[in-house]
């Protein structure tokens, strides 16, 4: 049986009728996106950003979102990793993949040693539905897939099926600074000039950022995690840093693969944490020099410092105050501290 992370067969040539139907759908998404309210591009891969269902997307990603909403059929066994950009997707993808597949692969010969976590657990709207419509039905359960789509815009089948959604967010100061570096890295690769820090900050505060407003995104999953705790697990990057053992066990329990006492005694929790640590992953050859299919930048762009609090090294006290105030105004009423 195929591995749940072998995606290449999902793109095999279909019948002519299916091909034509898909081409018509993709053209329709393109037309829809071209008529949405627009903003200026800031990353290197888009022509413009657009506002759809209250969130901002790169044009290419928005077409992917429409395709996911129309075509993705969720299963109750699916594990969906949802994240705010630059909030720890690489880390949580590695952890969930290692947890769910731990009986399949020995640590010394693990797919994470030779593949980047984003290749094993791709973003649906960015990679899988990027100007194409994959057949994800052929993948065996349990499928692990990722998205940056807000909870309010997820395909209905993801909610109805009872798929388990693991969401990770991060304090907006660190996430903003991390994304700033990431986008500039992409721009350098594509010979584009770096972005203006102040202008980017202003846009971020106004909510005009990829998959943002950042705070609304986190709140959408926060509220869902309170309403449907058995289906939506809400994690903060900072909490995972502070107590990785506790959170790894929480995630394992949540996705239906709790650690047995034998596994704990044998050190499985620590082994997975070590395998997925910033130190291990960032030093692997695949993550130093490799590239995910289709990505214009190398895998090393996903690894910078991996620390908590680096945002404050780049932001002025006024900027910090402004972000803290927005967080307070938007989130605290709902009990969300970031
Ligand atoms: P910094 O830019 O602050 O270093 P994402 O994975 O969502 O794209 O987020 C990227 C951030 O997560 C980057 O933060 C990156 O360094 C950090 N990161 C990547 N892999 C990590 C890991 N295994 N453990 C902790 N942090 C990690």
Q: How many CB atoms lie within 10 A of CB 108?
A: 8
Mean pLDDT lowest for which of 8-17, 158-167, 174-183, 192-201? 8-17
Residue-wise pLDDT for 197-208, tens only, equals: 999 999 999 999
CB 82 within 8 A of CB 167: yes
Question: Is it true that the peptide bond before 142 is cis, omega within 30 degrees of 0?
Answer: yes
Residue-wise pLDDT for 261-272, tens only, equals: 999 999 999 999
CA of 86 to the centre of ligand 1 (A): 7
Question: Is it true that the peptide bond before 213 is cis, omega within 30 degrees of 0?
Answer: yes
CA of 281 to the centre of ligand 1 (A): 10
Q: How many helices (H) and strands (E) in the chain?
A: 16, 7
**Quick one: average pLDDT of 109-136?**
96
CA 172, CA 292: separation in Å to the nearest integer?
Answer: 27
Assess whether the C-beta atom of 276 lies below 6 angstroms from ligand 1: yes
Assess whether the C-beta atom of 310 lies below 6 angstroms from ligand 1: yes
CA 329, CA 333: separation in Å to the nearest integer?
Answer: 7
Residue nearest to atom 22 of ligand 1 (CA): 278
Assess whether the C-beta atom of 304 lies below 6 angstroms from ligand 1: yes
Residue indicated by tokens 């959408």: 220
Q: Which atom of ligand 1 is the closest one to the Cα of 85?
A: 7
Residue-wise pLDDT for 300-313, tens only, equals: 999 999 999 999 99
From residue 72, how far is each of 11, 65, 124, 151 by CA, in Å? 14, 10, 9, 15
**Quick one: average pLDDT of 266-290?**
97
Assess whether the C-beta atom of 89 lies below 6 angstroms from ligand 1: yes
CA of 116 to the centre of ligand 1 (A): 13
Mutate to test the pocket of ligand 1, among 119, 148, 174, 302 (most ligand atoms within 8 A of CB): 302
Assess whether the C-beta atom of 200 lies below 6 angstroms from ligand 1: no
Whether the per-residue pLDDT at 142 is higher than 60: the answer is yes
**Quick one: average pLDDT of 197-224?**
97
Using 50, 70 and 90 to split pLDDT, how confident is the model at 123?
Answer: very high
User: How many CA atoms lie less than 13 Å away from 167 in the CB half-sphere?
Assistant: 25
CB 104 within 8 A of CB 192: no
Using 50, 70 and 90 to split pLDDT, how confident is the model at 2?
Answer: low
**What pLDDT does residue 42 have?**
80
pTM above 0.75, yes or no: yes
Determine the 3-state secondary structure of 1 from DSSP.
coil
Q: Which residues contact 26 (CB under 8 A, 6 or more apart)?
A: 63, 67, 131, 132, 133
Whether the per-residue pLDDT at 55 is higher than 70: the answer is yes
Whether the per-residue pLDDT at 1 is higher than 90: the answer is no
Assess whether the C-beta atom of 305 lies below 6 angstroms from ligand 1: yes
**Quick one: average pLDDT of 306-328?**
97
Mutate to test the pocket of ligand 1, among 83, 84, 86, 112 (most ligand atoms within 8 A of CB): 86
- What percent of the chain stands above pLDDT 90? 88
β-strand pairing of 48-52 with 55-58: antiparallel
Name the helix (H) or strand (E) containing 159: helix 156-160
DSSP state of 9: G
Using 50, 70 and 90 to split pLDDT, how confident is the model at 294?
Answer: confident
CB 237 within 8 A of CB 169: yes
CB 62 within 8 A of CB 48: no
Mutate to test the pocket of ligand 1, among 170, 235, 278 (most ligand atoms within 8 A of CB): 278
Whether the per-residue pLDDT at 150 is higher than 90: the answer is yes
Q: Is 148 a catalytic residue?
A: yes
Residue-wise pLDDT for 225-257, tens only, equals: 999 999 999 999 999 999 999 999 999 999 999
Q: How many CB atoms lie within 10 A of CB 65?
A: 27
Mean pLDDT lowest for which of 69-73, 293-297, 334-338? 293-297
Whether the per-residue pLDDT at 176 is higher than 60: the answer is yes
Q: How many CB atoms lie within 10 A of CB 218?
A: 30
Name the helix (H) or strand (E) containing 80: strand 79-83
CA of 31 to the centre of ligand 1 (A): 35
- What percent of the chain stands above pLDDT 70? 99
Q: Average pLDDT, whole number, for the chain?
A: 95
Using 50, 70 and 90 to split pLDDT, how confident is the model at 141?
Answer: very high
Whether the per-residue pLDDT at 298 is higher than 70: the answer is yes
| Beta partners for residue 145, in sequence order | 80
CA 241, CA 91: separation in Å to the nearest integer?
Answer: 10
Catalytic residue among 61, 148, 217, 247: 148
Question: Considering only CA atoms, which of 296, 297, 295, 302 is closest in space to residue 278?
Answer: 302
Q: Which residues contact 35 (CB under 8 A, 6 or more apart)?
A: none
Residue indicated by tokens 């994800």: 136
Q: Which residues contact 92 (CB under 8 A, 6 or more apart)?
A: 81, 83, 166, 168, 235, 240, 251
Q: Which domains does the chain have, with CATH numbers?
A: 13-331 (3.40.50.300)
């Amino acid at each position: 049986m195929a591995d749940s992370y072998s995606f290449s067969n999902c793109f095999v040539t279909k019948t002519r009728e299916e091909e034509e139907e898909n081409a018509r759908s993709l053209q329709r998404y393109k037309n829809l996106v071209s008529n949405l309210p627009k903003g200026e591009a800031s990353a290197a891969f888009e022509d413009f950003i657009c506002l759809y269902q209250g969130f901002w997307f790169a044009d290419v990603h928005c077409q992917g979102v429409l395709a996911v909403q129309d075509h993705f059929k969720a299963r109750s066994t699916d594990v969906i990793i949802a994240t705010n950009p630059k909030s720890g997707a690489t880390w949580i993808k590695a952890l969930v993949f290692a947890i769910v597949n731990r009986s399949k692969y020995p640590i010394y010969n693990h797919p994470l040693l030779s593949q980047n976590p984003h290749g094993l657990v791709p973003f649906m709207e960015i990679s899988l539905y990027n100007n194409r419509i994959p057949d994800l039905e052929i993948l065996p359960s349990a499928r692990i897939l990722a998205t940056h789509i807000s909870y309010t815009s997820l395909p209905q089948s993801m909610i109805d099926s009872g798929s388990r959604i693991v969401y990770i967010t991060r304090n907006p100061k660190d996430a903003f600074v991390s994304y700033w570096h990431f986008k500039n890295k992409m721009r350098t690769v594509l010979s584009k000039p770096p972005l203006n820090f102040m202008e980017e900050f202003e846009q971020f505060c106004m909510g005009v950022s990829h998959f943002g407003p950042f705070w609304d995104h986190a709140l959408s999953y926060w509220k869902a995690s309170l309403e449907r705790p058995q289906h939506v697990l809400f994690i903060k990057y900072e909490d995972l840093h502070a107590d990785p053992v506790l959170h790894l066990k929480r995630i394992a329990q949540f996705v239906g693969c709790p650690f047995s006492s034998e596994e704990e005694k044998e050190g499985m929790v620590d082994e997975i944490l070590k395998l997925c640590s910033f130190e291990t992953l960032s030093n692997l050859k695949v993550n130093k020099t490799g590239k995910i299919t289709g990505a214009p930048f190398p895998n090393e762009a996903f690894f910078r410092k991996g620390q908590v609090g680096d945002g404050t090294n780049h932001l002025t006290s006024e900027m910090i105050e402004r972000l803290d105030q927005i967080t307070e105004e938007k989130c605290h009423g709902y009990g969300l501290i970031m």
